[in-house]
Amino acid sequence: MRVLGVDPGLTRCGVGVVDGAPGRPLTMVAVGVVRTPAEEDVPLRLLAIEAGLEEWIDTHRPEVVAIERVFAQHNVRTVMGTAQASAVAMLCAARRGIPVFLHTPSEVKAAVSGSGRADKAQVTAMVTRLLRLDAPPKPADAADALALAICHIWRGAATDRIAAALARTRTSAAVSRTVAPRLAPRKEYLP
């Protein structure tokens, strides 16, 4: 599975592409950051993020896009910019029919480091180790994007299989309720 991880942000939007499957070695395909100037108007910054993400998607052809779920912060301006960048990433993926999954920061930390309370340094160290990199990815936004991709490969794949199994179960139950009565043997009553 090839996953594009996106750590949304207006100034630095981290992007990382990872190939892998649960229980198998992971491979980093590419990592980077889409940058926009802080002094530029927000609509122009969002256009730049869109162009950058579309280039990443077109170049690396991910099967899934994993985005960090926006969570409440004390600084409303920061959370708004993060949410806007996140929406652009969702739009770019949806436009191409690529499934989008959101993962919370604590879910990503737990998947990569084993602790939902891990700090950035611990997450970066584990990303470096799991992907067998010579040096930690920089800046932190890039490392976070790789962590999102890893999280989805390990956790998202299992979640997808569970959802598919539940859907099959619901379909089987619905078929049983509608078809079974028609297949039941008829009782003939003789006068």
Catalytic option among 19, 107, 141, 144: 141
39 catalytic? Reply is no
- Residue 54 annotated as catalytic: no
Catalytic residue among 19, 40, 54, 68: 68
Taking the C-alpha atoms of residue 152 and residue 47, their distance in angstroms, rounded to an integer, is 26
Distance separating alpha carbons of residues 37 and 58, to the nearest angstrom: 24
* DSSP sequence for 38-76: TTS-HHHHHHHHHHHHHHHHHHH--SEEEEEPP---S-H
- Secondary structure class of 97 (helix, strand, coil): coil
Task: Tell me the Ramachandran region of residue 93: left when phi exceeds 0, alpha when psi lies from -120 to 50, beta otherwise.
Answer: alpha
| SS3 state at 4 | strand
Distance CA 107, CA 151 (A): 8
Measure the CA–CA gap between 120 and 126, rounded to whole angstroms. 10
From the candidates 7, 19, 107, 144, which is the catalytic residue?
7
Q: Which residues are catalytic?
A: 7, 68, 141
